Structure 1
Amino acid sequence: MASSSSSSALLQPKYQVFLSFRGEDTRHNFTSHLLEALKNRGINVFFDEEKLEKGEELSQALMHAITASKISIPIFSKDYASSKSCLAELSQIIDCMRSQGQIVLPIFYHVDPSNVRHHSGSFRESFDQHLMEKPKDQVERWKAAFTQAGQLIGWHIDGGNFDRSEPEYIDKIVVVVIEKLSGKSTFVSEELVGIDDQIHKILLMIDQDHIRLIGIWGMGGIGKTTLAEAVYNEVVSGFKFDAHYFLQDVREKSLERYGMQSLQNELLSKLLRGDIHIDTRFIGSTLIRDRLRNTRAFVVCDDVNDLDQIQRLGVQDFGLGSKIIITSRDRQVLKNIGVNELHEVVGLKLDHSLELFCKFAFKQYNPIAGFWDLSMEFVKYAQDNPLALKVFGAALYGKERGNWESALRKVKKYPEQGIFGCLKISFDGLDDLERNIFLDIACLFGGYVGDLKTKILACWYEGAEYGISNLVDKCLVYIADELDCYRMHDLLQQMGKNIVDRESEDPRKRSRICIPEDVYNVFKKNTFGDFLLQIWSLIFKMENSYDDSV
């Protein structure tokens, strides 16, 4: 065994997790239970058995334990700030976070995170006392560390009647610690949860020699780009390619003047490490094509909506062993491109949805006291869509409960533009047949279509079955196997209703009537001629009250 004085031993990371806590507050309850759970999972934890008041100077062994740990977990309790040793530990932890990227996962144990951020409540008294005993610059350093730690994403354990039990929190904390130690999802850890399995699937595809083109497909806001970015960062840090590039916003940029030409030049200049200019629609230069064939490239083409875009980018000329990821909302486009494997990005599970929402709404992994019910309402409304969860969470951060209640009523009637602007891109790309079918499903069919409603649509529109299949390819409806029908995401359904509502303030002048009250008012006020024009809306509305299986 190496000597304790060996310099190499001092540099070796001895601990995986460092626990910082005030012994009198949590030693014999929460902290000891967390320690046991971590050790039972084989995690090496530094736990100060004595935890005596050591003053603000840290021993060399304690300093090394903090510096060598990959994760630090400060457990903020009501008297944490009264301990000079705790504040000294926290200051060193924050220094390690800044200098070497140490992961810090705070736990707010029966204290309000905002009190930590603002040094209020019981913490104010502690810092006032320190100012009378210690130099001001030292106390200010402690306060700065306290503020920064309070802004990090962690867990708020309130202990109220509606809060989770402590064992549930400990189980979740252990899971997150293991994920962090394994290095999973380092790029997207603050942006998306529940993505590790999907990253792993894409990486396995990339590792297969026969797979060259990989398609990532899903509805707007579901996380296609985030998944592709996470995979890209994993690949470029580990795999060996001659060149790599992430080409963003292909659809949007291609609409600009000289858009595709600019994208061509951007990609080729990066891959061939030179100033490349292509004047024609396709790469005609034999020299450039030969250089591409000699380049083993890894490229992500994000948000593609046309086969022509990929052909003009010269993907077919990339060298042997190249890997290309293409993200799109349209499955048919990916089929036309000829992807070897197609990965559908799935929505988040309920617990992951809640965690993602809380990261933006509370800057922690769980709702704060008094907001569990409203948090679940927004999570259910977002229906597993990461973009919606992030937009809602960010908009509600720091607001009072009354504002949350008002916001919930608002989003159910008026769409959130940050979300619907993204979703409407898919609608804008539809032809007249597809738009009509989409709006009928959203406004008149309650968001789902079974055999009976499919037959009704076929009576109204030539080629209805083909139109529905295109809506599936474009992620505007999906096949619900368990119900043997087509369903529409709730956010897309609300978007469809909003599109119709915007046609006119007068319901009689809209193409469809979505609200029962409007149906009643139109029939009450209309002439017989208008009645004939509107009667089909009532038929569809009434038919929707019956189960398709009947």
Structure 2
Amino acid sequence: MDASSNAARSYSSLNSKIPPWKYHVFLSFRGDDTRKGFTAHLHAALQQRGIMTFIDDELQRGDVISIQLIRAIEDSLISLVIFSQNYAYSSWCLDELQKILESTRSLNREVIPVFYNVDPSDVRHQKGAFADAFQKHSERFHDDEEKVQRWRDSLREVANISGHHSKDQLETKLIEEIVRVVWTKLQPHMSYCYKTEFVGVESRIEEANAILKIGLNDVRFLGIWGMGGIGKTSLARAIYEINCNHFDLHYFFTNVRDVCTKEGPVSLQRKFLSRYGKLKSIDIDDAYEGMKIMRNILCTQKVLLVLDDVSEISQLKDLAVKLAWLGTGSRVIVTTRDRHVLIAQGEFEIYEAKLLNHKQSLQLFCQWAFKSDKPTEEYLDLSRSVVKHAAGLPLTLKVLGSQLCGTNIVEWKDTLEKIKKVPPGDVINILRVSYEALDDMEKQIFLDIACFFKGMHKDEVMQILEICDFHPTIGIKRLVEKCMLVIENHHGHDIVGMHDMLQKMGENIILKESLKDVGRRSRLWKTEDITHVLTKNKGTDLIEVMCLHPPMQYEESWIPESFSMMCNLRILIIKSCDVFLPRGLEHFPSSLKILEWEKYPLKSLPHGVHPHELVQIKMHHSKITKLWHQTQMSKRIKIIDLSHSEYLIQTPDFSLLPNLEQLVLKGCMKLVEIWHQKGV
């Protein structure tokens, strides 16, 4: 069985209860021998590695070990016993050793012996200094020979365990080896935190390890791809912690995008090189020099590297991520929001990070909201509402759970209503990173879809965006690669979608363009906002798109010249409603490219219309009798759809529409005059 399978088995065997330990390591030693030297250095190395270590610096010693010390032994997963020349002279140390062995038997703890400047056989058979120590103990405890014998048995038992010997070895190397072994033994226990931090992580680890196949002698790259907040970093960290001790070198590069943007790749190169002894003094002048040094190190080693949040292909090169540059058996894990980074590098197998299902979402949310896997009965329905709103995104579940923890039902309901309008700032900030990484055209496409076109057929969206000169073929592809859009197949049709939190973020971006003056926003979709602009004549040149979906009956007195200031309006869509315009309209902006108006109430377009940019016009069930005067027609028009306009009696002059590609007049029962139909 390979290393990755063993790691997955040890991980999946974890239980979900609070771990029955407080410390990772208990240090047992003779203070006079090693406290200020070897033991102090070992303690510092363990702490630096993140291993919680108990050392009795602050305890008062006496003839009998204290209750506090006994508890510390019982609360430690591993006991490191440092045998030194004078260890056996201390009855305290021998009692401590005896208690350690009791814990290994009753609590399934581990003990690791370290023979510091002593021979293991001297400990095992009580020879040398150990013989002299027991001579003194026999004299002192002559009336309690069983006690002395128990000490002898304890020394023999521990000395028979495979441990570490300082003979012919530098202290630094010995300490490094001890820390490595301890870290490896702790993995099944230390990985416990990921079970609560990331619900459902076990199956994801197994899937990722199946790709990595750690233990084989080839070199493999794994790309973990997904939207912000989905748990890519948590998954990569769990895989790293479980597997890192199977490698000669291992390093986790955190926040690659952020560090490279603010400090440059040299900063990451220096952090990596500073981890390895003699390389700490190397100074790097530029990223290319740093890359060469890293490449020279990595090519001879079996390494595990994790590069978290990569945003550019150049970042992979700067950190020496290339199959040919790594030693046999090496593995590289990259997390990214941009699939194209992995595709362009060309050497990655891609693992798509998945959203949580309902059951997993509820469990994760409850862990943050209630510190439990399940909600109380009175909060069950509210919890389900929050989970539905989060739509499987771990970040949102954690943030909302944290916010709602300890609040009453009234506060829950108020918070839920608030987040339905505006997601929490912590969520928006994480998601907005992806938005800011888009180019200008991609931002325009994303905002149009977020505000208006989510859930529509891909072909229809592509057509609209192409009319607006947004190059949707490459634009939508890049947004999918950057996890800003998804294309889902429903009944044979490709549908454009996005996560609800991304949609809310997009809408929030537009709202923040002008918090008070809605006429200064680029996109309007709320009925009350559009009504305000058109009844108060508050339109400006900042408005690009308006889409009105009011209730079926909608009667407002729009000002006839309400579109006069919207000189950059490119899309006007009015659907599913009866709009009454008792005062009529004077004109539409000449910038208009798409006009869709269902149940248009007037007999023709306003006389002041000069739609030089108009490409598509759809007016189903309109009251139009004649679309417009010949002098008004746009030569760019490609699509005219006047379906079920039962009052239409005359078409435009098609000879003046050289680019017309699609004409739909279905249900136009009163049509009697078709101008220059031949050739159309």
Query: In the aligned structure 1, how far is the partner of 2:232 from the partner of 2:191?
Result: 15
Residues 1:420 and 1:286: Cα distance change in structure 2 (over 3 Å) = closer
Asked if the contact 2:228/2:434 (under 8 Å) is kept, the reply is yes
Q: Compared with structure 1, are the counterparts of its residues 288 and 473 closer, same or farther at alpha carbon in structure 2 (3 Å cutoff)?
A: closer
User: Which residue of structure 2 aligns with residue 151 of structure 1?
Assistant: none
* Letter of the 1:311 counterpart: K
Indicate the residue corresponding to 2:529 in structure 1: 518
Q: Offset at 1:265?
A: 1.2
- How many residues align? The count is 374
Helix, strand or coil for the counterpart of 1:476? coil
The residue number in structure 1 matching 2:626 is: none
Match of 1:129 in 2: none
The corresponding residue for 1:530 is: 565
**Residue in 1 aligned with 2:314?**
308
Residue 255 (structure 1) aligned with residue 255 (structure 2): no
Secondary structure of 1:299's aligned partner: strand
Shift of 1:477: 0.5
Aligned to 2:554: none
Match of 1:302, SS state, is: strand
Which string of whole-angstrom CA distances, capped at 9 and with x for unpartnered residues, describes residues 70-126 of structure 1?
9xxxxxxxxxxxxxxxxxxxxxxxxx9xx9799xxxxxxxxxxxxxxxxxxxxxxxx
Q: What corresponds to 2:449 in structure 1?
A: 441
Give identity over the alignment, percent: 37
2:402 aligned partner, one-letter code: A
Contact 2:361 2:394 in 1 (8 A): yes
Which residues of 2 match residues 100-119 of structure 1 at below 5 A? none
Return the match for 1:325 from 319, 333, 336: 333
- Look up the match of 1:493: 503
* Post-superposition CA distance 1:189-239 (Å, at most 9, x none): 1111112111101112221554521100000000000000111111124xx
3-state secondary structure, aligned to 2:344: helix
2:478 paired residue number: 470
Distance 1:534 1:245, change over 3 A: same
Distance 1:544 1:368 in 2: 50
1:243 is aligned, of 246, 249, 257, to 249
1:515 counterpart letter in structure 2: K
The answer for the alignment partner of 1:112 in structure 2 is none
| Deviations 1:274-322 (CA, angstroms, capped at 9, x unpaired) | 3143212213786764332111110100000011111111223222221
- Relative distance call for 1:537 and 1:446 in structure 2 (3 A) is farther
**Residue aligned with 1:190, SS:** helix
Q: Secondary structure at the match of 1:485?
A: strand
> Structure 1 residues 246 and 540 mapped into 2: Cα distance closer, same or farther (>3 Å)?
farther
Following the alignment from structure 1 to structure 2, what is the Cα–Cα distance between the partners of residues 313 and 285? 6
Question: Secondary structure of 1:370's match?
Answer: helix
- The letter of the residue matching 2:429 is G
Which residue, 368, 382, 389 being the options, matches 1:381? Answer: 389
SS in 2 for 1:437: helix
CA-CA distance at 1:414 after TM superposition: 2.5
Task: Determine the C-alpha separation between the residues in 2 that align with 1:229 and 1:397.
Answer: 26
Counterpart for residue 48 of structure 1: none
Aligned runs of 1:118-267 on 2, under 5 Å?
186-207=192-213, 209-237=217-245, 240-257=246-263, 259-267=264-272
Displacement after TM superposition at 1:450 (Å): 2.6
Structure of larger gyration radius = 2
Structure 1 residues 243 and 385: CA distance shift in structure 2, 3 A: same
1:332–1:473 contact (8 Å) kept in structure 2: yes
Which one of the candidate residues 275, 292, 298 is aligned to 1:292?
298
Partner of 1:508: 519
Counterpart contact for 2:218–2:330, Cα < 8 Å: no
- The 8 Å contact of residues 362 and 387 in structure 2, kept in 1 or not, is answered as yes
C-alpha deviations, 1:107-155, integer Å up to 9, x for none? xxxxxxxxxxxxxxxxxxxxxxxxxxxxxxxxxxxxxxxxxxxxxxxxx
Change in Cα spacing, 1:184 to 1:278, as seen in structure 2 (3 Å) is closer
Give the match for residue 77 of structure 1: none
Q: 2:436 aligns with which of 415, 418, 428?
A: 428
* Cα pair 1:294 1:319 within 8 Å, conserved: yes
Aligned to 1:363: 371
Which residue identity does 1:274 align to in structure 2?
L
For residues 466 and 311 of structure 1, do their structure 2 counterparts lie closer, same or farther at Cα, with a shift above 3 Å needed?
same
Unpaired segments ≥5 residues, structure 2: 1-13, 18-73, 78-102, 110-187, 538-561, 578-595, 599-617, 619-642, 644-680
Q: In the alignment, what sits opposite 1:128?
A: none
Q: Which amino acid is 2:267 matched to?
A: S
Measure how far apart 1:434 and its partner are. Answer: 0.3
For 1:347 and 1:273, locate their aligned partners in 2 and report how far apart those are by CA, in whole Å. 44
Q: 1 or 2, which has the higher helix percentage?
A: 1
Alignment map for 1:332-351 (pairs within 5 Å): 332-351=340-359
Q: How far apart, in 2, do the equivalents of 1:415 and 1:226 lie?
A: 22
Letter in 2 for 1:194: G
Unaligned 5+ runs, structure 1 = 1-15, 20-66, 71-95, 103-181
Alpha-carbon offset, residue 533 of structure 1: 4.7
Pick aligned residue for 1:400 from 383, 408, 427: 408
RMSD after superposition: 3.2
Are the aligned partners of 1:513 and 1:537 in contact in 2 as well (CA < 8 Å)?
A: no
Counterpart residue number, 1:56: none
1:334-353 C-alpha deviation (Å, 9 max, x unpaired): 11222330000010011000
Change (3 A) 1:372 1:285: closer
Determine the C-alpha separation between the residues in 2 that align with 1:187 and 1:271: 28
Q: Distance in 2 between matches of 1:528 and 1:333?
A: 44
What is the alpha-carbon distance in structure 1 between the residues aligned to residue 395 and residue 333 of structure 2? 21
Q: 1:380 to 1:393 in 2, by over 3 A?
A: same
Change (3 A) 1:260 1:536: same
Counterparts in 2 of 1:525 and 1:535: CA distance versus 1, 3 Å:
farther
Distance 1:308 1:263, change over 3 A: same
Letter in 1 for 2:232: K
Change (3 A) 1:301 1:309: same
Structure 2 length as normaliser, TM-score?
0.51
Q: Secondary structure at the match of 1:399?
A: coil
Q: Is the 8 A contact 1:445 1:541 kept in 2?
A: no
Which one-letter code corresponds to 1:301 in the other structure?
L
Corresponding letter in the other structure for 1:484 = D
Aligned mates of 1:534, 1:287 — CA distance in 2: 55
Contact 1:249 1:302 survives alignment (8 Å): yes
The CA deviation at 1:447 is 5.3
Query: For residues 328 and 544 of structure 1, what CA distance do their matches in structure 2 show?
Result: 42
Local SS of the residue matching 2:311: coil
Q: Distance in 2 between matches of 1:233 and 1:440?
A: 42
CA distance in structure 1 between the partners assigned to 2:353 and 2:289 by the alignment: 32
